[in-house]
Structure 1
Amino acid sequence: MWPRHLLAVRRLSGSPSPPSPSLSSVLRVPSDVARGIPDDVRHILPLLHDLSDGARRGIPRWVPTEDRAPSSHAPRKRSASWLEITYPFSTDVGLRTLYMLADGTSMRAGRFLEELDAFAADVSVRHARAGGEDGRPPLAVVTAAHDGLSIFSSLSAVHDLRLRGAVVSVGETSMEVRTDVLRVNDDNYCGGRGGETLLGSCHTIMVARDAGTFEKVAVPPLCGGDVESAELEAEADLRRARRWILRERNLRINPPMPDEVPILHELWREAHEAHLSGTLAELVPMNASRIRNLEVMQPKNRNVNGYIFGGYLMRRSLEAAWLSAFKHCKHPMVFVGADDVTFARPVEVGKIIEVSSRVAFVDPEGLTIRVFVDVNHISLESGRQEPTCEFHFVFHTPPGSPRTPQVQPVTYAQTLLWLESRRRWLASKSEARHVDGR
């Protein structure tokens, strides 16, 4: 629908696009890794253990650490935070039923996202605690953002699923956790990368806080020195630069770029001509796909800090996004990723939240759609809304499906959302080229 010359991807020096993981870049398995049994999960992955039925029946692996670190600020090796859990879906039929969709093979992506968030928290805690309490006050971690989640292959509830993660970059009080999602093709749990298929990867930004005051707490730095450390740190620098560029070009702060104005004019002109010619049915108003849910936050979904677990908000948001995608396309869509999930403020137990989703952009071929979800505190007395978190989810059309109609923004706010989603689509077009996002 949209003219190709206006949707072309253009190169801009200095605008990095994050590298896409490949099988060759799967996190390395340390040489001194220990393998446990399901009873070990409560000690090695306590946050995931409290949340996940699958983890409680899973096989954990970790790198043993000293009982106490020399200093709370002593540099830590990346392997000190390395964790892995394997979900035994292939042999545990009852467990498989808890996680699979109605088709009998696919996994519930929302539940998967919720558990991935808890797994990243366990990895970050393992690094931040530096092997022992060392006389420090109790420590907690909170999710600040998920900087991209790419699913290269569909999530299966038939094969064993493996999460493998480690802290790959550290700031003063923040940690970036990389989590690889792998399908196990055999029962060789100890055999390194043999028998594994990389399904996707995610980078999660965690912030350390004092459990009593909830103030930010400094975390130990990372040791480097090997080739893998240098590569992972370089990739982390690219992601930081990309986040900075997105903040600088945020359409809530800055107007559209001058060369985006013709695109917006063409967007209006296409809709106007469609209206005159009677072909407006090919354009679906953005609000036509809107899904809006209100929910009271219950104690069962709170984390160790007393706030609502960020993974739960992710799951509820993805479920709403999938419904919006279905509503727009008139058939189920395949979840393939998310980018730049941001948590603006914690959600307290008892608060009412609104989860609002809508299809924001459809690519010219109608194969990929991007769904925007925002979560807000709602006061039923005053009607006041407070932004809590935002999500950008990506779905693909299954093979053989009818062509997806384009989405038509109506208001100025919707037009800016369409433009922001288009920028993100352009940035994802190629992992090898740099994109200016305009």
Structure 2
Amino acid sequence: MSPGLKFIDFSIMPVLLGAGSCRRFLKTRMLRKMTIKHYSSNRRSNSPDNQYSTIAEIKEKMMKSFGLEPGYTTEPKSREELLKYQPKFEDLPARSMQDSFSSAIIPLSTDAVLQDKYINFRGFARLGRLLEDMDLFAAWCCHRHLKVPNLPEGVPLPYSIVTVLVDRIDFTSVSPNGTQDIRLSGHVSWVGSSSMEVVVWLEQVVNEEYQKITRALFLMAARNATNTAAAPVNPIQPANEEEKVILAGGADRKKQRQILSAQSVFKVEPNAEEQSLIYQLYKRTTPVEQTGQQRLLPPNCIWMHDSFQMSTIPSFPEHRNQNNTVFGGFLMRSALEISWATAFLYCKARPQLEHISDISFQKPVSVNSFIKMTAYVVYTKENYLQIMTVAEVLDAYTGSRVTTNAFHYTFSAPDPVTEVLPRSYHDTMWYINGRRKFKASRG
């Protein structure tokens, strides 16, 4: 049993906790139950982690449950026959958060082949690979939440699960070791009519205790079997006061996302403080008594349009999800890795990832696409830099491009970094948006 779990007296736990404490309480209690169950059925095991499925096993279980088979075909097997099993909302029983709670292991300590995929040259685990697994695991928690009572035995689950957005991924000081097991845990924390919020943790044993690497919030959408329309999901019935607080927090986050979206700098003009900042930027970069269009770059500064790095990635069937489109986790990994490279090249020192916010998935990406990833440094302050990475799908025959994703990262550097400045009004809007993201990440 993990250190500390067996000594907790849950009967004296306070009834009402803060949202973060509630998640820790729920996770600790569920892990304790899983551990006790494991030891009662297999006392010969030397490690409680043996009870957990690996992330590869979870992927296999999901494919089987959704009626998907390994192997790629240009014409995927039709799932239209499953539409008749699509339940109505009133037929779906309520679920608790404990129903969707699960844990899994990335077995880096025993699988040398897996290590090669996850490890970097310094011996740490690649964060992009871990984000990929977190996205898959969030879908698994949604799968556990869904329960269709009248579904005949042997009939696949008549749903598709897609990632809508990922929000507020904060990283601790724990640098994940590339040769030690990593544990994922999570559960559905809020539901709408067809959407589910999932909280996912990553942990690794440090000094004989599990320490948190990161935590992320995923907003997932439930779609019908053919991914052509929204599908209803089971409501949540909180099992206790702790779950009530977590559920209320999810509802508050939905409202906050709606407010921030309505106030986006790309929809409404900057506020008074930001308007003043724009004017100050103009004065700093314009020669005295200059009436033309000439701009002047101050010392120790760089124009934003000179700060970017770009890559074009062909996608392949190995990157597909159950909907036969590019897996969102692959896009997350690719975007993070080019963003990290951009930060490294910009500050000329190894950067530290501090925060990820507002990863949006606007359009599906087909598996025969060319994906253009462009990472820009959009804001800097002291030893921090804010990066926005844009993913576009390129049509090789027409040359057209469609923006499918936007990613926002906060990195820190060992020393103060060169200040980035916008030159055009378009760049200035990116600068203001980056400043907002940075302030939110530090808040």
Partners of 2:409 and 2:427 in 1: CA distance: 17
2:134 maps to what in 1? 116
Q: State the shift of 1:383 in Å.
A: 2.8
Aligned 8 A contact 2:54 2:107 in 1? no
Residue 13 (structure 2) aligns with:
none
Q: Does 1:217 align with 2:231?
A: yes
Residues in 1 aligned to 2:391 and 2:295: alpha-carbon distance in whole angstroms: 38
- Confirm or deny: 8 A CA contact 2:52 2:104 kept in the other structure: no
Query: Size of the alignment, in residue pairs?
Result: 381
Displacement of 1:312 after TM fit? 0.4
Give the structure 1 partner of residue 401 of structure 2.
385
Matches of 2:326 and 2:55 in 1, distance apart?
A: 22
- 1:22-101 superposed matches below 5 A: 27-30=27-30, 32-33=33-34, 35=38, 44-46=58-60, 73-90=92-109, 92=111, 94-101=113-120
Change (3 A) 1:314 1:268: same
Structure number with larger C-alpha Rg? 2
Structure 2: how far apart are the matches of 1:271 and 1:47?
Answer: 58
SS in 1 for 2:27: coil
The residue number in structure 2 matching 1:54 is none
**Residue deviations 1:185-233 (CA, integer Å, cap 9, x gap):** 367xxxxxxx221222101011111122531110001111412212211
Structure 2 unmatched runs, 5+:
1-17, 39-49, 65-86
Which secondary structure does the structure 1 equivalent of 2:229 belong to? coil
Distance 1:213 1:310, change over 3 A: closer
1:370-403: per-residue Cα shift (whole Å, max 9, x none)?
1101111222333322121111012111xxx332
Answer whether contact 1:41 1:49 (CA < 8 A) is retained: no
Greater alpha carbon shift after TM alignment, 19-28 vs 204-213: 19-28
Secondary structure of 2:29's aligned partner: coil
Contact 1:48–1:119, Cα closer than 8 Å, also in 2 = no
Matched AA of 2:430: L
Matched position secondary structure for 1:204:
strand
Instruction: Determine which of 136, 150, 153 is the counterpart of 2:170.
Output: 150
- Compared CA separation, residues 158 and 387, structure 1 to 2 (3 A): same
Residue 327 (str. 1) matches residue 327 (str. 2):
no
1:407 aligned onto 2:427 = no
Flag the 1:421–1:92 CA change in 2: closer, same or farther, 3 A: same
Counterpart position of 2:311: 293
1:163-182 matches, within 5 Å, as 163-182=184-203
Q: Cα distance, 1:44 vs. partner?
A: 4.6
Q: What is the match of residue 330 of structure 2?
A: 312
Provide Cα deviations, 1:174-193, integer angstroms capped at 9, x if missing partner.
10000011122367xxxxxx
Structure 1, unpaired ranges of 5+: 1-17, 51-68, 188-194, 431-438
Report the equivalent of 1:426.
439
Higher helix share: 2
Equivalent of 2:219 in 205, 222, 228: 205
The Cα of 1:278 is off from its aligned counterpart by 8.7
Q: Which structure has the higher relative contact order (CA within 8 Å, separation 6+)?
A: 1
Q: Structure 1 CA distance, aligned partners of 2:28 and 2:149?
A: 21
Cα distance between partner residues in 1 of 2:156 and 2:200: 28
Q: Is the 8 A contact 2:185 2:201 kept in 1?
A: yes
SS at match of 1:307: coil
Match of 2:258 in 1: 244
CA distance in 2 between counterparts of 1:277 and 1:351 reads 39
Q: TM-score if structure 2 supplies the norm length?
A: 0.78
CA distance in 1, matches of 2:191, 2:23: 24
Alignment of 1:316-395 (within 5 A): 316-363=334-381, 365-366=382-383, 368-395=384-411
Taking structure 1 as the reference length, what is the TM-score of the superposition?
Answer: 0.78
Paired amino acid for 1:233 = L
1:130-149 matched pairs, under 5 angstroms:
130=148, 133=151, 138-149=158-169
User: Which residue does the alignment assign to 1:282?
Assistant: 300
Whichever residue aligns with residue 176 of structure 1, its letter is E
**8 Å Cα contact 1:149/1:201 also seen in 2:** yes
